[in-house]
Structure 1
Amino acid sequence: MTRWVSSVNKPENESSVLTMSTETDLLTPLSRQFFDGKLSTDDVLETTQTLQFPFADVHSREWYVGGLRVGYSDWRVNQRVQLDWAMESPTDVITLYINLQGKTTTRRILKERAFELGPHQHNLFYSPVNEGMLQSENDGLTTFMIQFSLDTFLGLSREANDGLKRFADQVVLQKPVALSPTTLYLTTGMRQAVTAIIQCPYEGGLKKLFLQAKTLELLVMQAEAASQTPPPAGGYIKTASDKERLWFARDYLTRHLASPPSLSQLAREAGINEYKLKRGFKEVFGTSVFGYLSDQRLELAKTELLENKRTAGEIAFTLGYSSLQHFSTAFKKKFRVAPSKVRA
């Protein structure tokens, strides 16, 4: 059972706080069967749910296949809201949690402190008992998760990297554990995989293969991200506000791949000085602003080539390359194959 004890807060600069205490079971019949260990199907099962509260409209979607539960939840709030949650499951589940908007806190993973995920952050969790808190931003709270049954996860982790194997060892001992001791930032590849799952165009057997492939892809990318050396303590970017500005800058670049802003324009759009943008971008995302822009253009080009949407020349022109030759050279350098060979 998932219980939501909701505490609705007005903005911090207002002295009065409106508090509502209710308990609501948000689990669908399919999710109850999954957590009880009674859901067994080779087909893809999907369910949607829309709920209305005084403080929010909630739309959620769930997909089930084999020992996987995939969930997407979007809360459209009319005021800032804080939600305490608790989940009780008769069976062990491992949760790959991606916080897209708002803030999620879980209290049972680390003994010394609560574990907090902000916007665009993720981690892999296990705990026999789960409880925590969700906090919205001004207009919403959006989360995505993949939950693995115990047998499914142990089967996948058996041939995985050392980090996932150590994680699985703790799960077997029923000890609360997080894959990474610090929060991980969402990569572009992970974001694309999440979007692909939510917008999956396939049906039947193809949909089953697609969901299995994408969930495994997300687990692999998360394991790889966790294995990378975290940035040293006391880095240049110290405040949550600066990190949010850098994430805005990255998202702004992603939306303007064809006609990207100059560095000074991007700094103005993000509300951060140019030096902090350059140094902070490298620290948070592990690449320069120009390097990120180049990678995103090429990833988009590869996707369009694979989907036979446009010719290489059309893609090069749309993405702002000065010539087809310039585009082909950059593409081959990144992917070690010419654009003309991608469709072969």
Structure 2
Amino acid sequence: MRISYQNEPLFPGKPAPVFTGRALYRHYEQSEGALTEGVHWFDFQTNAAHTLNVGYEASFYKMVLCIAGESKSLPKRSREYSFRTGQAVFYRTEEEPYQAALPADTAFKVIHMHLSDTHIAMLQRDAPAVFEKELPVMNLTADCAQAFLQLKNVSRENQGLLSLFQEKLITEQLFNLASHVLPRIPRTRGEAILEEAVWHIHRAERYLTIAELSRLAGTNSFCLKQLFREQMRTSVFQYQCDLRLERAANLLVETSLDVSEVALQCGYESAAAFSNAFLRKYKVRPTAARPTAARPTAARPLTFKNSRLGK
């Protein structure tokens, strides 16, 4: 992706602060890099209204999350579209450059997600209706503003975590996009899928990925995540995390296993990771959960009526 104003590059690269004698921006920040795939963020405030030129080396699918701001895009071949605060737009880019009109005195906080062939293949397989509209638009979830700040901090302070954070962000937004077009699953069918998924979770010795669990439950990853959110009021990962911490609390109270052994039995790769997760859930360290210390209150297990869990 290349963004320029009067042939002066803004992205990738650093923006020239003044054009034709007047500053375009009161402040301007952007992520580094020029990869076709990946996540890029922009945080700036316009001073004067202006039009940017945007171009790509190839055509690909992307999603733009507009946390704040408003602009109008004028592509050459497809119809024009807008970015507005609190919305995300999913579309296929054009190889020919197009124009983006930005108003004056406007704060922008925007995330551009360039989707890989793997992401698109997953959508085509599990949520093909996404591609039936030329420009699907969806409302952003309430936590996107916080995700934007986290993305900025991670990209500056911890490059090792950046790719993981970006993939998590993309996966969450693909799920939100797919949720707008997924057909409603009949309740009895949904309960059967959830029962099967929970049965496998309770018998697994490690965390199961969404792909693994959806395959075992006879559905796709988008539908499984939707069912957990709607009927369980939690995510697949959080359910597994709560279950393992619940097991850990019982082991700490009822056995003499040391913390590292409990961590391994409950699927944690290190005692430190286990201790931090335990603290977040129960507000005490595992060492304080022994019978001689204050015991944490175990979370109530999540179960289903007529579930196979008790068998």
TM-score by length of 1: 0.45
TM-score by length of 2: 0.49
